[in-house]
Chain A
């Protein structure tokens, strides 16, 4: 069984300040972890993924996330927010990448990021 908890349903930051979106996961397997972003009326876009290689993962648009097994966390960060970052962000867990259930993703509830000028 696997689950994801996004600790904040809404995060509000000012443009140019750091972003932190928190995620904790639970998985019976060694998981793959992802962050996806969803802009209004757009499809889900993959930001970054962790698949048991480096624990610090760099993604698109300056985002990165650190896998901490001891804390079962996979928080998403960005040093400086931009107005275009305003969107909904989903933390996602998948069973082991080689398993037949790969692609049966479990999504968190989502965090809406608001960026103020």
Chain B
């Protein structure tokens, strides 16, 4: 069990640029989640996948955000035309598909939009 891996750890970008983050879940986990955490707040749910299917999206996920999990393994989260309000920690988590399996979180990608 190597844990949930996220890359990059930090990303600084200029407003208006596109960014993409990657998440590699624990290998046997078929559920994958994206959360966003802003300074001083708890993480907020963005979206989740079961295998390659995106089953739910939060209203926080505007049309500038897109997440994919093409082969049911790693996932990418892309933000187009970044805005300063997108600055946050983006967290990925995975879990097994068993009723009360806990989520295992990665260390996150910290995005700073200047």
Contact = CB atoms under 8 A, between A and B. Distances in A.
Interface residues of A, number: 27
Contact of A103 (B4, B33, B91): B33
A26 B47 CA distance: 22
A40 B31 CA distance: 26
Interface in A83-112: 90, 92, 97-98, 100-110
B103 A104 contact: no
Contacts of B43: 44, 90, 105, 107
B99 to A, nearest CB: 4
A104 B56 contact: yes
B108 to A, nearest CB: 7
Contact of B48 (A4, A44, A104): A104
A51 interface: yes
Interface in A21-78: 32, 34, 36, 41-46, 49, 51
Interface in B1-15: 3-4
A97 B42 contact: no
A interface: dominant SS: loop
Contacts of B91: 43-44
Contacts of B4: 43
A43 B19 CA distance: 21
Contacts of A108: 42
A49 B100 contact: yes
Given A43-B4, A43-B108, A44-B91, A49 B102 contact: yes
Contacts of B28: none
Interface core residue of B33, B44, B103 (most chain A CB under 10 Å): B103
B21 to A, nearest CB: 14
Interface of B: 3-4, 31, 33, 35, 40-45, 48, 55-56, 91, 93, 95, 99-100, 102-108
Interface of A: 4, 32, 34, 36, 41-46, 49, 51, 90, 92, 97-98, 100-110
